[in-house]
Structure formats: structure tokens, C-alpha cells
A and B are shown apart, each in its own frame.
Chain A
């Protein structure tokens, strides 16, 4: 084991990992994080904390991670390339490691156009592949991007995202290959609704033997309503929601739709568990954290292994 990450420990012992996420509030109230965290207690092995997702300003991922850490979680620090240059990124990596954060998820980040500050200047000094390599080089070689020695290596377990549903499909496994080459250790995928396409992608991943190098956690998000399903299909870039999913949601009365959404989510998890190379599930219940426990239980993912004291 390289790090004190709970998910690294579970993966190394051959276990199946469950993660979820916690979106920080649009304000300075730490209780929001504590309340969301309380809903995930005993349900997940690690919690992602999003980094100003959809480019909307929120409490920093770093600070929110610390609040969750104090609650006994193993947080996953998400970091996007949009807002920081290599100086800020490396500085935050050191700070995160110093405060006991064990995991980091390297992301490009949504374009600022989608958020509440579309007039902002973006950074993109590096991309997510290069960010992966930056963390790895700091941790394993003790070197900064600039070549100087890191005194006290940041022992972070390195993650990234991958979207099997984005285009061009033919290079999606190759792109994962680049991330693997750069040093990524776990991947959380974009929300999976089109299982058939996901299986095709996993086939390409296995053809390259990437599932041996990188632990792939399948991402799922329950629909709250047919409206949400339609929104995901039509408005969220890189999201693939098959028509039959929309039909299925539409086919039940409005008050039963949340239940149906959860049912679809649980069925998806059960299918994912059977796909060779899938090493875990990442449940993204967007502003619906109270349902994660129910989903995990129904999908047979509970109980979770005991968290070891770091």
C-alpha cells in the first residue's frame, strides 16, 4: 500500500468499493456538510467532495474535505484544472496531504460558461492527464513539476474521472490508457444509464488490460423525476440517457417517480457488479444524499468494511 487511503486498502484486499459524493454549500455554513455527511455514515468507503462543480462558486473542496475528515470519513479531494495553475495545484496537494487527506480526483473541470461567473478567466495551465502525473511525480519521485525536490512526499491515492459516453467513442479507452500511463489508480465514471455502451467501453478497456492497472468504479445517479431524466438527456453535455429510461420514468405516476428512479439505479448497480473489471460503485445522488443508504442497501452493498484508524 502506498497511502493510507481506505479505498486503496479495500481494493488491494480484493474488495468492492462504494463511494459517494458531497456537494459543498454556497455559503460558509459547515453544518451543511456535516448534515450531508451524517447521511453517508457507514454507507460508503470514501466521499468525493466536488470542486465548484458546474463552475458555481461553493465552499472549497479542500475545506469541506477537512470537515468530513473530522467526522471520520476518508474524503476524496476533487481538483479541477480550470481554476488553478501548477503553483496553486501543487501547493494544495501538499496542504491536503499535510491535513490527512488521502485521496485526490484529478479533473479538467466544467467550463466556466455553465456557472455563476461566466465572465471569469480560466486557467488550464495543465490538463487532467498532466495533473495525474503531477501528483504521481510528487508522491513517488518526490519531485515538483519544476524539478525541485519535494521535502515530505504527499501520499495521495490518485483518481480521475472518465466518461464512456462522450465522443469520440473510439478513443475513450485510449484516453483512459493515457491516464493509466500518467499514474491514475482509480477511475470514477460518468453516470451510467446506457449499460450496453458502458459494456462496450469496458470491453475496449479490457482489450488494453487497463482494468488490471486502474480500479474502475461505475458511476450512478438516481433520477428523482422524469423531468430530471429529460434534463440529463438533453442539457448535460456528455450524458447518455436512452429513450427507454425516459419512457420508464414517464410510465409511472409523478409521486411514484422517485421510487422508480431508485429502482433503476439499484438495477444498474446490480448489472455493473457483474461486469468484469468493475471494482466498485460511485453513487452520485445529486442533492439527494439521504437516498444513498437506501440504494446501497437495496443493491446489496452493505455493510461496508470497517474504516481503519489512519
Chain B
């Protein structure tokens, strides 16, 4: 899923302090699962804002709304009937959602209430961890199912570097060394011989480096 992290109240207030009518827009997908921008977080943020407004004597009207997704046209359309009642949309979706809402309502400011962090997994309740950087050309078959691009601090394709120590990355002692994990997993799979293969220099055109990406499936188009 896409993992996000809510911005601080101070940062959010800095963005919205000049507005009096705010549509606070949650998203029922990834950011709900990672507890950053779902219905519950919409409620929490709305309470914080109301508390602030009463304390500061600032008038603010907030409508709480959580869409099924902010990355699909049909759901974003659901707010059209009442969008005119609000000066600004404060979106709690990932960066994709924020932008797609902005594309649909061109005269309405759409502000981000969360920072989009990474593509990751839930390690345990309240703990998420990065797994993928969306480079567009997956090599997990070569590296024991562990991605050196996402999980090595230097994205080394032929690691580990000289900073791998006791299974940890040189960047900090809390971070596992991606290449230690790759070697361990290759061993578990009985494929340590794969380590001997040099992975050639990567074609980054499928990654962000190639410019904004688009995928078209002609067979699915209407």
C-alpha cells in the first residue's frame, strides 16, 4: 500500500488559516489502512481544528467527508454537488489523490494534509516499512525476493557496500542491511550461486527518471 504520515497541526494551520469554509476529504484506501487519512483520521483532524478555532476565536466551518478513493474519477465527482459551499479542500489522501482532486476542481485550492511516504507493508500494529520504489522494472527474481533498490540505502545492485555490519546498514543501526537480507534469503532458497552474477547497470527509463509515467491497456479501454 501507499503509506502516508499526517502533517503536524501547525503545518496544516499554516496552510488553511486564511480560510473559513474547509472541506476535509479523507480516502478509504491505503491511507485508511496505514491510519493516516481515513475516516477516523478525518474525524481526529476535524476535532483538532475545531478546538483550535474555538480557542483562537477563529470562525471555521469544516465538513468531514471520506471518499472510497481519491484516485478515481467517479468518487471524486461525488463532492461536486456541494463543492461550491467551500473555499478550500484539505485532502488526507496520498499525493496522487490530492492532485487528482485538484485536476477535477480547477478553481478550488486543494491542500495536502499528509506526507506521502512510501510503498510498503504493515510490519505490526502501528509499524509500516518500505518495500518498493516503483522503478518499473522488477528484478526481485534475481535478488531472493528482496529489493536492493528500495532496501539498500545506496540502491546498490551488486552490494553490499563496506558499511554492512552485523546485519545493519551504515546509515543507522536500526535499519537492516538490504544485501545481508538478500544473501540470507538466497541461502535459504539454496540459490547463493546467484550472488555471483553481476547485475548490469540499470535502465532507469521505466523509473521516475524517464519522466512522468503512464500505462495504457488498450484491451480495457472503453
Interface contact A171-B170, CB-CB below 8 Å? no
Closest residue on chain B to residue A108 by CB atoms: B161
CB pair A133–B198 under 8 Å, yes or no, is: yes
In contact, B160 and A130 (Cβ under 8 angstroms): no
Interface size on A, residues (CB 8 A): 37
Q: Is the CB of A127 within 8 A of B170?
A: no
- A181 vs chain B, min Cβ distance (A): 6
Is B159 engaged at the interface, CB distance under 8 Å to the other chain? yes
Contact partner of A113 among B156, B171, B177, B192, CB < 8 A? B171
Q: CB-CB < 8 A to B201: which residues of A? A: 86, 125-126, 130, 133-134, 145
A166 within 8 A of B: yes
* Chain B residues with CB under 8 A of A86: 201
B56 at the interface (CB under 8 A from A): no
Q: A177 with B163: in contact, given A130-B157, A168-B180 (CB under 8 Å)?
A: no
B195 near A174: Cβ-Cβ < 8 Å = yes
Does B196 belong to the interface (CB within 8 Å)?
yes
Judge if B167 is at the interface, Cβ distance under 8 Å: yes
* A124-B156 in contact (CB<8A): yes
Bin chain B's interface residue count.
20 to 34
B67 vs chain A, min Cβ distance (A):
33
A237→B180 contact, CB < 8 A: no
* Interface flag for B28 (CB, 8 Å): no
Tell yes or no: B27 within 8 A of A by CB. no
B183 within 8 A of A: yes
Interface assignment of B165: CB less than 8 Å from any CB of chain A:
yes
Complex interface bits, B161-179 against A, C-beta within 8 A gives 1, otherwise 0? 1111111001110000101
Shortest CB distance A66–B (Å): 28
Residues of B close to A279: CB separation below 8 A: none
Task: Quote the shortest CB–CB distance from A145 to chain B (angstroms).
Answer: 6
Q: A177 vs B196: C-alpha distance in the bound complex, in angstroms?
A: 8
Decide if A117 is an interface residue (CB 8 Å cutoff): no
Bound CA–CA A145/B158 (angstroms): 17
Residue A162 interfacial (CB < 8 Å): yes
Q: Is B19's CB within 8 Å of the partner chain A?
A: no
Instruction: Pick from B171, B177, B180, B201 the residue with the most CB of A within 10 Å.
Output: B201
The reply to whether A111 and B155 form a contact with Cβ atoms under 8 Å apart is no
**Bound: A142/B123 CA distance, A:** 49
Residues A166 and B195 in contact in the complex (CB < 8 Å), given A108-B154, A125-B204: no
**Bound-state Cα–Cα, A109 to B160, Å:** 12
CB of B210 within 8 Å of the partner chain: no
Residues of A within 8 A of B163 (CB): 110-111, 166, 237-238
Q: Which residue in chain B gives the minimum CB-CB distance to A122? A: B154
Residue A103 is within 8 A (CB to CB) of chain B in the complex: no
| Min CB gap B148→A, angstroms | 9
User: Does A287 have its Cβ within 8 Å of any Cβ on chain B?
Assistant: no
A78 adjacent to chain B (CB < 8 Å) = no
Known: A125-B204, A167-B166. Is A178-B160 also a contact (CB below 8 A)?
no
Provide the A173-200 mask, 1 if CB < 8 A to any CB of B, else 0. 0110110011000000010000000000
Are A238 and B162 in contact, CB atoms less than 8 angstroms apart?
A: yes
In the assembled complex, A81 has its CB within 8 A of some CB on chain B: yes
6 intermolecular pairs with C-beta atoms under 8 Å apart: A109-B154, A124-B155, A129-B158, A129-B198, A171-B192, A178-B158
